[in-house]
């Protein structure tokens, strides 16, 4: 079976870093495409992916006429654009970066210094099947390095566009490296979208290290094309007093999974990972997080909210591990799903594994439909049911977006969320 795993036959030993990639291929091959047989993929199946007949991205276009609206954010910042996983300088805007902040494409980095690149890339691959697959095919991505104490003055907007060649599916495996030296500060916003009607598979890995006292704000807009499969794995290492604020807004894709694995390797860390997923039609959206409190005295916060209409399916798997000597850990996790249709479905489970005794940990999960009481209150003031319905659904969603601390990005994400909400109708999916 393992030998039959999709993509294996597309492996090219001729491309750069063959040894590193062959290692990834071997690990992927041993595991195969993940599926319900393994615990971490209990609720999400990639079966439909294998039916797409995806080509490797090698021959696919790396140009664009224009950036699709789905990827746009009204945010002033630097921009790095990737098409089918390849860096496109023509659409990027990286002039004027402050001294000590460097943006480079991974392909350029590998070409410039293959040994350094190989060393830098080795860390993130934890052997999970899709990260291993990403390693096997890694070609390009974003490398952001911010030196000690340097503040990236504007957000860096990483745009990733899937563009399948006429009628053909394509698979690409971007690998991003983000390195914040001690006391550095940066904001990175990703937007993922697609052009063209065919399916594609974006299998992204973001390998992030935030050193002592550094701050990273990391926002992701997943607004992929309707036929897309989107899997993004964030591998995050947080040193003492580091701060990470993550947010993912899911709107698009046929199947999407945002997977965060964070290791808290020092005290005084503040790790926040929040999200909002808006799911309709027969979409499937999975948020999976793993926060490893490996050191005492740190804090983690998670809020994931989902609005599920039609036959949409949502998954939230949140695992928090507090290791034996991680005393004074303060971890909180909340998952709330709003079902707008009887056919919508939500699965998942919180998993708190606590081996220290002096900790504050809590979790909560709610799944429900819209309350009648607020609905009546709004209507009793003359607001028609369709408007009242939209106001209440939006109110539910806004609470998650409020977690985004950068106002311009919060507003830009809200604009995309509102466009989705405007398409909802009372009783539409029931």
Partner 1 sequence: MALLEIKNLHVAVDDREILKGIDLTLDAGEVHAIMGPNGSGKSTLSYVLAGREGYAITAGTIRFQGKDLLAMAPDERARKGVFLAFQYPVEIPGVAGMTFLKTALNALRKERGAGELDAMQFLKFVRAQAKRLEIGDEMLKRALNVGFSGGEKKRNEVLQMAVLEPILAVLDETDSGLDIDALKIVADGVNALRSPERAMLLITHYQRLLDYIVPDRVHVLAHGRIAKSGGKELALELERKGYGEFLGEAA
Interface characters, 318-337, with partner 1 (x: CB under 8 A): --------------------
- 94 sits near partner 1 (criterion: CB under 8 A): no
Among 63, 385, 415, 427, binds partner 1 (CB under 8 A): 385
**Hunting for tokens 């926002």 — which residue is that?**
219
- Reference 106, options 157, 159, 145, 58; nearest CA is 145
Query: Which residue's CB is nearer to partner 1, number 391 or number 406?
Result: 391
- Judged by phi (left if over 0) then psi (alpha if -120 to 50, else beta), residue 311 lies in alpha
Among 366, 369, 387, 423, binds partner 1 (CB under 8 A): 387
We find the least distance from the C-beta atom of residue 276 to partner 1, in angstroms, to be: 12
- 396 sits near partner 1 (criterion: CB under 8 A): yes
Q: Using CA atoms, how far apart are residues 397 and 401, in angstroms rounded to an integer?
A: 7
Q: Using CA atoms, how far apart are residues 122 and 228, in angstroms rounded to an integer?
A: 28
Query: Which residue's CB is nearer to partner 1, number 57 or number 393?
Result: 393
Q: Which stretch binds partner 1 (CB under 8 A): 2-10, 13-21, 65-73, 372-380?
A: 372-380
Among 376, 405, 415, 427, binds partner 1 (CB under 8 A): 376
Among 240, 361, 398, 408, binds partner 1 (CB under 8 A): 398
Task: Name the phi and psi angles at 176, rounded to 5.
Answer: -110, 140
We find the least distance from the C-beta atom of residue 430 to partner 1, in angstroms, to be: 16
- Reference 238, options 215, 204, 206, 205; nearest CA is 215
Answer yes or no: are the C-beta atoms of 138 and 21 closer than 8 Å: yes
Query: Which residue's CB is nearer to partner 1, number 53 or number 385?
Result: 385
Query: Which residue's CB is nearer to partner 1, number 142 or number 388?
Result: 388
**Hunting for tokens 């709107």 — which residue is that?**
251
- 364 sits near partner 1 (criterion: CB under 8 A): no
Q: Using CA atoms, how far apart are residues 75 and 269, in angstroms rounded to an integer?
A: 28
CA distances from 271 to 17, 99, 154, 173, 274 (A): 33, 27, 21, 26, 10
DSSP state of 377: H
- 388 sits near partner 1 (criterion: CB under 8 A): yes
- 260 sits near partner 1 (criterion: CB under 8 A): no
- 399 sits near partner 1 (criterion: CB under 8 A): yes
- DSSP for 4-38? G-TTGGG--TTSS-HHHHHHHHHHHHHH-S--TTS
Query: Which residue's CB is nearer to partner 1, number 48 or number 395?
Result: 395
Q: Using CA atoms, how far apart are residues 40 and 47, in angstroms rounded to an integer?
A: 16
We find the least distance from the C-beta atom of residue 248 to partner 1, in angstroms, to be: 19
- 366 sits near partner 1 (criterion: CB under 8 A): no
Q: Which stretch binds partner 1 (CB under 8 A): 4-12, 18-26, 30-38, 382-390?
A: 382-390
Q: Using CA atoms, how far apart are residues 346 and 339, in angstroms rounded to an integer?
A: 8
- 426 sits near partner 1 (criterion: CB under 8 A): no
Answer yes or no: are the C-beta atoms of 161 and 68 closer than 8 Å: yes
Q: Which stretch binds partner 1 (CB under 8 A): 75-83, 96-104, 153-161, 368-376?
A: 368-376
- 407 sits near partner 1 (criterion: CB under 8 A): no
Name the residues that contact partner 1, by CB under 8 A. Answer: 372-374, 376-385, 387-388, 391-392, 394-399
């Amino acid at each position: 079976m393992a030998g039959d795993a999709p993509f294996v036959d597309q492996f090219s030993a001729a491309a750069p870093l063959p040894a590193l990639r062959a290692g990834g291929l071997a690990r992927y091959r041993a595991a195969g495409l993940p599926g319900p047989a393994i615990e971490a993929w209990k609720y999400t199946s990639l079966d439909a992916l294998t039916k797409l007949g995806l080509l490797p991205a090698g021959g696919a276009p790396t140009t664009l006429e224009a950036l699709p609206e789905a990827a746009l954010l009204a945010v002033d910042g630097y921009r790095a654009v990737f098409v089918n996983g390849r860096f496109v300088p023509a659409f990027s805007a990286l002039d004027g970066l402050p001294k000590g902040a460097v943006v480079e494409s991974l392909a350029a980095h590998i070409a410039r210094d293959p040994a350094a690149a190989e060393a830098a890339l080795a860390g993130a691959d934890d052997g999970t099947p899709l990260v291993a697959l990403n390693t096997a095919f890694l070609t390009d991505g974003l490398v952001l390095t911010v030196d000690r104490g340097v503040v990236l003055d504007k957000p860096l907007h990483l745009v990733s566009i899937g563009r399948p060649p006429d009628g053909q599916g394509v698979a690409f495996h971007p690998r991003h490296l983000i390195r914040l030296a001690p006391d550095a500060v940066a904001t990175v916003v990703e937007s993922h979208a697609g052009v063209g009607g065919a399916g594609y598979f974006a299998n992204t890995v973001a390998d992030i290290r935030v050193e002592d006292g550094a701050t990273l704000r990391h926002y992701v807009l997943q607004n992929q094309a309707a036929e897309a499969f989107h899997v993004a794995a964030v591998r995050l290492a947080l040193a003492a007093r580091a701060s990470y604020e993550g947010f993912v807004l899911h709107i698009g894709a046929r199947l999407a999974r945002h997977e965060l694995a964070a290791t808290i390797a020092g005290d005084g860390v503040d790790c926040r990972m929040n999200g909002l997923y808006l799911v309709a039609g027969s979409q499937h959206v999975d948020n999976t997080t793993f926060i490893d409190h490996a050191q005492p005295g740190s804090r983690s916060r998670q809020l994931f909210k989902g609005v599920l209409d039609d036959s949409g399916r949502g998954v939230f798997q949140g695992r928090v591990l507090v290791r034996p000597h991680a005393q004074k850990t303060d971890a909180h996790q909340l998952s709330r799903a709003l079902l707008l249709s009887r056919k919508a479905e939500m699965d998942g489970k919180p998993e708190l594994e606590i081996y220290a005794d002096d900790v504050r940990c809590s979790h909560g999960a709610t799944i429900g439909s819209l309350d009648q009481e607020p609905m009546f209150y709004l209507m009793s003031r003359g607001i028609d049911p369709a408007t009242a319905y939209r106001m209440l659904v939006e109110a539910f969603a806004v609470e998650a977006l409020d977690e985004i601390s950068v106002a311009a990005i919060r507003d830009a994400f809200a604009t995309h969320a509102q466009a989705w909400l405007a398409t909802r109708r009372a009783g539409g999916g029931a």
